[in-house]
Amino acid sequence: MKANRLRWFLLLVLGSAVCQFPAQQSEAARELGADIRAKAEKGDAKSQWVLGNAFELGFLGVAKDYVEAAKWYRRAAEQGFAMAQNDLGVCYRNGEGVTRDAVEGAKWYRQAAKQGDATAQYYLGACYVQGEGVAKDYVEGHKWFSLAGHQGVENAKTNLFLVEKEMTTEQIAEAQRLAREFKPHKTPEPGAFPLRQRAKL
């Protein structure tokens, strides 16, 4: 999956900083962090998202700060960067850096899911099945789980099986039709890359 390859690439880049002597490590992380921050401040959505991850996880020479993480995710999300939209949804779901708000979380998941982001599709499916931030709707939940499952999200496949136990044959057929008809609406993302799998699925 493209997302996993890019995640490993970022970890390799960051890992190269870790394999240096402590003084070199700190300096290398600060330099990389400063470069990413400069790009983020100029409006680069990818860099804004990476900076959000840095603040969330406490790397690239910055301390953990959920408020700063949510701020940078929002900047990238408002430009249509799907991974940032998903991560901002997670912030709202968990109340990390923002006030917990299931409706706002589902809104951001939906925006990323419509672009084809598998993680957001999984989370949006869970929102519909649980009635978290949206009205409970097994048909919509099934649709989003199905789409995420087709992209390799294993928990989506498991949840698809479980939600089908609560649905009629007609509801399942409708959900399958909706999933077949789904076409992602990609938002142009200058310099975007598919780094993902921050959250455990």
Least confident of 14-28, 62-76, 111-125: 14-28
**Residue 136 included in any domain:** yes
Cβ distance 166 to 184 under 8 Å?
A: no
Report if residue 5 sits inside a domain. no
Confidence class of residue 17 from pLDDT cuts 50, 70 and 90? very low
Q: Tell me, yes or no, whether 173 lies in a domain.
A: yes
pLDDT, one tens digit per residue, over 147-190 is 999 999 999 999 999 999 999 999 999 999 999 999 998 765 44
Total number of domains in the chain: 1
On whether residue 163 sits in a domain, the answer given is yes
User: What's the pLDDT score for residue 42?
Assistant: 96
Q: Write the DSSP assignment of 95-158 as a string of letters.
A: TSSS---HHHHHHHHHHHHHTT-HHHHHHHHHHHHHTSSS---HHHHHHHHHHHHHTT-HHHHH
Query: What would the pLDDT profile of 50-59 be if each residue is shown by its tens digit?
Result: 999 999 999 8
Who wins on pLDDT, 146 or 29? Answer: 146
The answer to whether residue 132 is domain-embedded is yes
pLDDT at 199 over 50: no
Q: What is the pLDDT of residue 188?
A: 57
What angle (nearest 5°) sits at the alpha carbon of residue 115, between those of residues 5 and 123? 80
Average pLDDT over residues 92-103: 97
* Residue from 119, 107, 83, 85 nearest 10 by CA: 83
| Structure-model confidence comparison of residues 183 and 12, the more confident one | 183
DSSP character string of 166-182: TS-HHHHHHHHHHHHH-
Domain range for residue 150?
Answer: 116-183
